[in-house]
Amino acid sequence: MTDTDTEKFRSELLEKIQSLEAKQNENVEKILGKLESLEKTTDVNNNSIELKKPENNFSGKGFILTHIFKNVSKIEENKNYDSDTEEYFNVPWKFSITKEDKRIGFLLFCEKPKISENWFIDTEYELKFRNPSGRSVEIRKFERRFENSVDGGWGSKECMEWDQLEKEFIFDDSLIVEVCVKIKKMEGTYQKTSKRCFSEPKFSDAVLISGDQKFYVPKLFLASQSTYFDALFHGQFQESKMTEITLTDIDSDDFQNFLELLHGESAIDEDTVEGILLLADMYDSKTATERCEDFLLNFSKKTMKKKLEMSTRYNLEKLKKNCMDSVKTVNDVKAVLFSDRLQIDPEIVAALLDKCLLINGAV
């Protein structure tokens, strides 16, 4: 690598750090913060409690796809321009933009392979453009069921007039697009059978409801595995009688896998690990988090980029260190950073920049 290449690469990394600082990932709320923000409604007649989380696209099962479209002035009419394909909850996603009739169009694609078994994913998603000041502006909202029997993307050909796009959102001949996806329900996407049944009320003293499924659980055991449920069952939510608690926006398959893991079953695989991690982090379950991290460290075949993203989102320090230690070449750094995504922790970007410079200096 020449001095000119080094300086160019260093400038690109510094530019990425600056852009990341304008849009850092929000830190996951700690357990007390979650409990304080819960809206409690109690039905005296049936002794049930419904727990509602605050309106937040990323408090449940969701993700953000981000892409920088460069050389926008050279975009051709009636041609699709795709983002990178990114994996979330073991499902590949991407989006595309088009220029048609002096308007910008947008489509979101779920690229899960078409298989014989039926599956569907119900989603809500928002299209956002980043303005020159770094603020994300909501453009359109969509709802869509992606399923095994339907091909293609879903969006709109008329999201905004191209003249308005140029005036308000294109700078340095680039357009930053964000797609904020909330998964409302997934069914048939996990290729596994349940290993334990939670429908037996005999040895339980609480009922947790996710979707249309009831889980009969012992309070004491679940409280010992999760500070969230400890506070729920033995703090201000303590009930002397049988209590039914509805967990809103929680995928029932993920919760099944989470409970199986806590009960010692081998519930973790490439399909289920991210859904379990989401709940382990949300419910502050150290055991579940450690077992998921062990799987990602020792057994998972996910890419280093995906592991690094998960280590940041779910605070997996061992996995993060392992990923950083695996970076040996400049190409390794590029594989992690240069996908036009703005979701990586700026501290990681800075550390990778230092490592890159050290690698280059050692050559």
pLDDT tens by residue, 35-76: 444 444 444 344 544 444 333 344 579 999 999 999 999 999
Which pLDDT score is estimated for 236? 67
Q: How far apart are CA 47 and CA 244, in angstroms?
A: 7
CATH code for residues 31-56+191-298: 3.30.710.10
Q: How many CB atoms lie within 10 A of CB 70?
A: 14
Q: For residue 97, what are the β-bridge partners?
A: 81, 106
Which pLDDT score, from 0 to 100, does residue 14 have?
Answer: 56
243 and 48 Cβ atoms separated by less than 8 Å? yes
If one compares 8 and 131, the residue with the highest pLDDT of the two is 131
Would you place residue 78 in the very low, low, confident or very high pLDDT band (cuts 50, 70, 90)?
very high
What per-residue confidence (pLDDT) applies to 298? 97
pLDDT at 290: 97
**% pLDDT > 70, the chain:** 78
Q: What is the pLDDT of residue 330?
A: 76
Question: Counting runs of H as helices and runs of E as strands, what totals does the chain give?
Answer: 12, 14
Prediction pTM value: 0.77
Span 202-212, pLDDT tens digits: 888 899 999 88
How large is the average pLDDT for residues 160-175? 96
Whole-number Å distance between alpha carbons of 225 and 284: 8
Dist. CA 157–CA 160, nearest whole Å: 9
The dotted CATH code for 62-187 is 2.60.210.10
Lowest average pLDDT, out of 4-13, 18-27, 146-155, 284-293, goes to: 18-27
β-strand partners of 41 = 50
Q: Examine the pLDDT at 356 and tell me if it is beyond 70.
A: yes
Residue with tokens 């050279």: 74
Which residues, in sequence order, are bridge partners of residue 77?
99
- What integer best gives the mean pLDDT of the chain? 82
Surface-to-core class of residue 197, CB atoms within 10 Å of its CB (0-12 exposed, 13-18 middle, 19+ buried): exposed
Q: Which residues contact 142 (CB under 8 A, 6 or more apart)?
A: 108, 123, 124, 125, 126, 127, 154, 155, 156
Do the beta carbons of residue 12 and residue 344 sit within 8 Å?
no
| CATH topology agreement for domains 31-56+191-298 and 62-187 | no
- Confidence at residue 18, expressed as pLDDT on a 0 to 100 scale: 52
What's residue 220's pLDDT?
93
Domain ranges of the chain: 3-24+303-362, 31-56+191-298, 62-187
Average pLDDT over residues 345-355: 76
pLDDT given for residue 5 in this prediction: 64
